[in-house]
Amino acid sequence: MTDTKKGHKATDECVELLKSGKLPPWRVEDELVSTYQLLPPDNFMLAARCRRKFIEETTGEKFSWIRISEKPYKNRYFCRKDDLTFELDARDRYVRCPLCHGKMMDLGEFAPLVASYVGGCESYYSYAGRIQVKGDLEKEFTNLLVYGTGLGPIGVTRGCYYINRFGGADVKVDKFARAVRCHGLIFESDRTRKKAKDVIEGQLDEFKKKMDDQMKEFKGGVSSVDFDLVDAQEDYILYVDFVASFTNFRGHGDISRAVGFVKKEVEDLLDTSGIDYKLSVIAQGHDGDLKPSPRNKRGRYASAELRIPIHEFETFFKIDLQKFLSFVKVDALGAEKLGCPFYSGMGGEILPAVYKATQVNPQSPLVSSFQNIYAGVENGDVVYRVELPNVEVGVFSTREGIISPSAREALRIMGIQTAREFAASLVAQVLAGEFNLALEISREKLYSS
Ligand SMILES: [Zn+2]
């Protein structure tokens, strides 16, 4: 049989194995070697094609912008002088040592670019399984992650398998996301500050209407205005948080513009009311802009939960429940001991990987990376839950942020059309990754040599 014929036969058979669930997606490279003698580096291209074909057949969407690299693997080089092995993308032509710039020895050893590689020439996309969600949304999402090195995509895939096996992730996702900007004012005395607060409150309905007008494009609306009073030496500070809600957009730019507008209106109002202020500024420090505070008002709440009857949990996973629960407790308390208001474990890696794959706005996912985790027993069930209190996302390519054709393709393949679906898919993937990690660690399968 010619190699091309052999390749076609192997691809068809591997796609069928992937569909039946008998072949884990990250094992396709090995399967091509062991069953078809398709050796490295030839197996890498074929494995990527198998996974893509499988994804196309299960989602009905096509890969086009997310291309497979012409050499989808890495190559190992060794520098004698530095006694170090380096791994370079096989296309890379600058093969001198990154440290001493000397010549390196080509070891002729190949490895996958990332686990379950499916495409991407600059960012490497991994396939990380499919996950069913129920509750606020009923849907099955396909997971594509730009995760980089490591076993993360495999962990998410395994977690998805377990969650689907036990009926899917039960998700709760807010209908609206919040965006906030703060107007800060300083007064000479508590009395003037009180007067100012009263006149501002008296005009709030008027202000809100004008602000809504400023936020029409992305259909934003002021949802609340919160006052906070802080005294510092001779300064009497008044923080006015203008909070707006958005359905499908991030809204950060719009609320900023609207507050910039209303700040001028507030100043005019104070002037005509004869109320002196020492300073009037946009107070970014108080609006939860990228701050890990439990009072952070940005983004949208999303949670995902898995419930498994205790007996099934113990027999299926062959695990001591108490040990599992204690591990989660040790982990969460560890974060608390460090003074973190949130726990952030695998989520700290999965969230950026989803943001990188989809290039949604904001492209820096820091504010959305806060995460709470819970494990316990309720009514005879083991309950495992993660919460993302501040998922910030705009899924459309607009003035708010451009999304490249390849990232838009990723969104289509993943099955994400709305910001709410993005949040649901995100929290379900974090649940999968965290749950799998908790199992692996409490079964002492991880971090053991
Ligand atoms: Zn060197």
Residue 399 Cα to ligand 1 middle (Å): 46
Reading the block at residue 159, the tokens are 């977690």
Residue 41 Cα to ligand 1 middle (Å): 25
To the question of pTM greater than 0.85 for the whole model, the response is: yes
Residue 10's identity, in one-letter code, is A
Burial of 82-117, coded b for 16+ CB within 10 Å and e otherwise, reads eeeebbbebeeeeeebeeeeeebeeeeebebbbbbb
Residue owning tokens 């096509």: 62
Give me the average pLDDT of each 10-residue run along the chain (449 residues).
85 97 97 96 97 98 98 98 97 96 97 97 97 98 95 96 98 96 96 97 97 95 96 94 95 94 98 97 83 84 97 94 91 84 83 96 81 94 95 93 96 98 98 95 71
Residue 149 Cα to ligand 1 middle (Å): 22
Residue 79 Cα to ligand 1 middle (Å): 5
Instruction: List, by residue range, all CATH 3.30.70.420 domains of the chain.
Output: 177-286
Residue 108 Cα to ligand 1 middle (Å): 18
- For residue 267, what are the CA distances in angstroms to 171, 183, 199, 243, 283? 44, 11, 11, 19, 15
* pLDDT for 368: 78
Residue 42 Cα to ligand 1 middle (Å): 29
Residue 81 Cα to ligand 1 middle (Å): 5
| Whole-angstrom Cα Rg for the chain | 26
**DSSP, residue by residue, 125-147:** EEEEEEEEEEES--EEEEEEE--
Residue 107 Cα to ligand 1 middle (Å): 15
Reading the block at residue 317, the tokens are 């996973």
Residue 87 Cα to ligand 1 middle (Å): 13
Instruction: List, by residue range, all CATH 3.90.770.10 domains of the chain.
Output: 169-175+300-442
Residue 194 Cα to ligand 1 middle (Å): 67
- For residue 75, what are the CA distances in angstroms to 38, 108, 391? 17, 7, 38
Give strand ranges (E) for 113-234.
117-119, 125-135, 139-145, 169-173, 177-187, 221-232
Residue 73 Cα to ligand 1 middle (Å): 22
* pLDDT for 1: 66
Cα–Cα distance for residue pair 388/363, rounded to 1 Å: 17
Residue 80 Cα to ligand 1 middle (Å): 7
Residue 83 Cα to ligand 1 middle (Å): 7
Q: Which CATH number fits domain 177-286: 3.30.70.420, 3.40.50.1100, 3.40.630.40, 3.50.50.60?
A: 3.30.70.420
Q: At the top level of CATH, which class does the domain 169-175+300-442 belong to?
A: alpha beta
Residue 88 Cα to ligand 1 middle (Å): 14
Residue 114 Cα to ligand 1 middle (Å): 25
* 435 close to 384: Cβ distance less than 8 angstroms: yes
Residue 152 Cα to ligand 1 middle (Å): 30
Helix ranges, 273-418 (H): 310-317, 321-337, 347-358, 405-414
Cα–Cα distance for residue pair 400/419, rounded to 1 Å: 14
Residue 91 Cα to ligand 1 middle (Å): 20
Residue of 180, 220, 227, 186 lying closest to 204 (CA atoms): 227
Residue 76 Cα to ligand 1 middle (Å): 14
Reading the block at residue 42, the tokens are 């030839």
Residue 206 Cα to ligand 1 middle (Å): 67
* pLDDT for 199: 97
Give strand ranges (E) for 233-299.
235-246, 279-282
Residue 85 Cα to ligand 1 middle (Å): 9
Residue 92 Cα to ligand 1 middle (Å): 17
Cα–Cα distance for residue pair 140/424, rounded to 1 Å: 10
Residue 95 Cα to ligand 1 middle (Å): 11
